[in-house]
Structures are given as C-alpha cells and as structure tokens.
Amino acid sequence: MNAPKFSDLNPPSRILLGPGPGMTHPRVMRALTAPTLGHLDPELLKIYAEEQDLLRYLFQTKNEWTFALSGTGTSGMEAALTNLIEPGDDVLSCIHGYFGARLAEIAERQGAQVDRIEKPLGQIFSVDEIESALKKKKYKLITIVHAETSTGAEQLHIKEISAAAHQQGALIVLDAVTSLGGIPVKIDEWDIDIAYSGSQKNLGAPSGLAPITAGPRAKGVIEKRAKPVSSFYLDLKQYANYWGNAHGYHHTASASLHFGLREGLRVIAEEGQENAFARYRANAEILWRGLEAMGVPPFIPIEYRLPPLTTAKVPKGCDPHKVRARLLNEYNIEIAAGFGALKDEVWRIGLMGYSSRRENITLFLAALQELL
C-alpha cells in the first residue's frame, strides 16, 4: 500500500473568540513542548501534586478527590454521572440550555429515571422553581449548568439551589466548564458534591483535560455503590488510586497536557483569581458597550450575563453565518453561531482565558463594524 498524500502542518494563528477553545497562553504553549515523561515518573507525580493544589485553589475546595481527567469537558459530565448513578436512580435535570439537556441525556444513558425542568433559552431558574420540583419526588441527585455556553447565561443562586437539593436528600452535580477561572466557583462554600470543567475555556490550555472535584458526600455514595462504575476509564476511585499515594496504574495520562494545564493554572494563580475575574468583567464590559453602540445588543440581561461568553443579537436583514465566515476568512477571527432555536438569532462571542485581551476586542469590534 502506498503512503497517502500529506501536507505540511501550518494552521493559521486564529484569534479565538468563540465558545471555546480560548487561545492557548504562550507560557502554556512552551510548557506543552517540554520532554515527555512516563505516566508514573516521579517528576510527573510532583507536577500532579501542584496541579491538584492549583485546581483546589480555583475550585475553592479542600476536596481530596480533585483531579484532571484525561478527556474533554464531556468526560467530566460522564464521570460525574456514571460514578453517582446506578440504574433506576431518580435524577432531576434543570435545563436552561443545550449543555443542561446533554447532562439529562447522559443520566438517562446511565439508566437513571430523569425528570426534566426547563427554562426558555436565555432564562435561568429561580430557587423556588427548583425547590418545588424537588418536593415532587425523592431524587438521588440534581444536575445544573453554572455557565450555559449555549446562551451566555449564568445560573445564579447556586448556593441556595445546592442547599435546597441537600434539604431533600439529593446530591448536586454542577457543570463549571465555562465558569471555572472566568467567574467565581466556590465548591466548599456552596457545598457542591461534584463539579467539573474543561482545560480549553478559561484555563489558557488546549482541550484534552477535564478538572473535576468530588466532595465527601459524593465520595460516600461512590464507595457504597452496589455495582462497580460502568466505565472503567472514568472510575473516580481508580483516579484517586492513581493520583493518591498509591500511584497505581490506571491509564497512560498525557504528561504534555498536564504540563500545559498546570502552567495555565499557574498563570491564573500568579494574577490571583479575583484579579482575573475583574479583568474578564472589565473586558466584557468594553465588548458589551461596543456591541450596543453598533446596534448588536447582548441577548442576556446584565444581571446574569456571563463575561466569558456573550450572545449578541444579529441585526435585522443580516446573514449571521456569512458575517461569521467573513470574520474567519478575512480577519482570522473565530466567533460562533447561536445554538438550536437561537441559530440565526445571535452570535456567540467568547472572551475566555488568553482570548480575554483588549487588543482582541478592539480588533473584533472594528472588523464587525466594517462587515456590517
């Protein structure tokens, strides 16, 4: 058999202002090229220990079970649910966008009986709405997305929602894929049982790792399971055995990706996460003002609008997909279309991680102005 035709690797250096990945921080790029280490090399294990402490800092938790899974954000979703759910368990899925619906589907695939409560795209839940749904049945757990990347809405009141779940004896799984590193995520203060994220959003790294943290209640449930977790790969007990003192082999984790993630986390810790949140907010406000001035107002009310991800209303008569394609082809800027029913209604503009810089916003606003 002849070798296939191949070309040189020469991807363009895009300005990534979509819903993720954000741009990789230059320090992370350098870290990614460090020499490969074996997955049990003592030097890699030292890196893991630091990475865990940095993740605990970002998640604001003391949880022992805090790791980065080998996989994208979806592996975090699957790990949370496959470890907690056993067939027949009752799950309440609170859905205010696409990723909330994905959690419900994953729970169903684990054999759970899933009840869904839904908000129209662009809205969030009140605590009362979730409290009254929780009173209808004894649920094992509830799922909810903190930062809905499909709409740009921040689900507020997570602490109160968590308290309501626990009041009824249910656990809470929180999707923090687009929130971690971009807005405060307070796992211990909010008493969250499992939360996970993705390396490619606000952490300055490429995709491929999913930070996850599990608290004592979740750990207790997992340890008392009647049957082993159906996924060998996503079994959190096996992760704990690999990341903990035993360092037992589980799978061949990518040292390079961990070098990159740890560097991204170090960048955030050096800036201080509160300062990073303030920078995201200030940059997002510049973007919002610029969009408003151009007749492309943000879609989500200011009270729960996410700094890392803005949805902006497409002006009447404008083809959003043509504009998006021209931004990419002529200005090298990536943004995204809306999701589902919002496909032709909004653009999604991300200011995640290393993408959240003044020069990117100025360039994007100028480019959009020219195209409109």
Ligand X SMILES: Cc1ncc(COP(=O)(O)O)c(C=O)c1O
Contact positions vs ligand X (CB under 6 A): 19-20, 72-74, 77, 99, 145, 149, 175, 177-178, 198, 207
Q: CB–CB of 178/300 below 8 Å?
A: no
Length of the chain: 372
Closest CA to 253 of 262, 220, 61, 353: 262
The Cα 29–Cα 172 span in angstroms is: 35
Query: Which lies closer to ligand X via its Cβ, residue 175 or residue 193?
Result: 175
Neighbouring C-alpha atoms within 13 Å toward the C-beta of 136: 13
Q: CB–CB of 170/157 below 8 Å?
A: no
Q: CB–CB of 137/115 below 8 Å?
A: yes
Query: Which lies closer to ligand X via its Cβ, residue 171 or residue 176?
Result: 176
Rounded to a whole number of angstroms, the minimum distance from the CB of residue 181 to ligand X is 13
Query: Which lies closer to ligand X via its Cβ, residue 68 or residue 365?
Result: 68
The Cα 219–Cα 84 span in angstroms is: 9
Rounded to a whole number of angstroms, the minimum distance from the CB of residue 99 to ligand X is 4
Rounded to a whole number of angstroms, the minimum distance from the CB of residue 174 to ligand X is 10
Rounded to a whole number of angstroms, the minimum distance from the CB of residue 20 to ligand X is 5
Residue nearest to ligand X (CB): 73
The sign one gets for the Cα dihedral 219, 220, 223, 225 is negative
Rounded to a whole number of angstroms, the minimum distance from the CB of residue 175 to ligand X is 5
Query: Which lies closer to ligand X via its Cβ, residue 268 or residue 306?
Result: 306
Q: CB–CB of 178/149 below 8 Å?
A: yes
Query: Which lies closer to ligand X via its Cβ, residue 356 or residue 365?
Result: 356
For residue 105, give every residue at least 6 positions away whose Cβ sits within 8 Å of its Cβ, in sequence order, or none.
none
Closest CA to 81 of 99, 104, 107, 63: 107
Query: Which lies closer to ligand X via its Cβ, residue 298 or residue 308?
Result: 308
Rounded to a whole number of angstroms, the minimum distance from the CB of residue 148 to ligand X is 6
